[in-house]
Structure 1
Amino acid sequence: MAKIFPIRPAKPELICWGCDRYCPADNMICGNGSDRTQHPVELFGEGWETFGLNAQDAQPADEPKQPPADKP
């Protein structure tokens, strides 16, 4: 079973996010390269989970829902 992926970790720079092991950045077990895999919040910034293929289907709270337009 895969671990739950944190949306907003406190200090993402301390962990490699490349697999389910979440190794410390200075002691990676997998050896899948010399650099750690960054967390999406480091790459894309706040709100990274609201866009892309796996984006949440929820509509932002600041945009009011519009009723469907009547067809003439």
Structure 2
Amino acid sequence: MAKKIPLHPAHPERICWGCQNYCSAKAMSCGNGSERTPHPVELFGEDWFEWELGARPENPPQ
């Protein structure tokens, strides 16, 4: 089972969020690439989680 991603981490820039290892940005051991994967809060802002929930309709069309 994958780890749950924190909604509002204190310092998201210090961690690579690309896999379940959550390696330090300066010591990525998984080989996920040459750059770290940013946390959604860095890309979409503090309300990223509410934005994601708002994208899905509550009552899907039938």
TM over 0.5: yes
Runs of 4+ in 1 over 4 A off after TM superposition: none
In the TM superposition, residue 4 of structure 1 has moved relative to its aligned partner by: 1.5
Count of residue correspondences: 55
TM-score between the two structures when normalised by the length of structure 1: 0.69
TM-score between the two structures when normalised by the length of structure 2: 0.80
Higher relative contact order (CA 8 A, sep 6+): 2
In structure 2, runs of 5+ residues without a counterpart are 57-62
Task: Find the structure with the greater CA-based Rg.
Answer: 1
Equivalent residue for 1:39? 39
In structure 1, runs of 5+ residues without a counterpart are 58-72
Higher helix share: 2
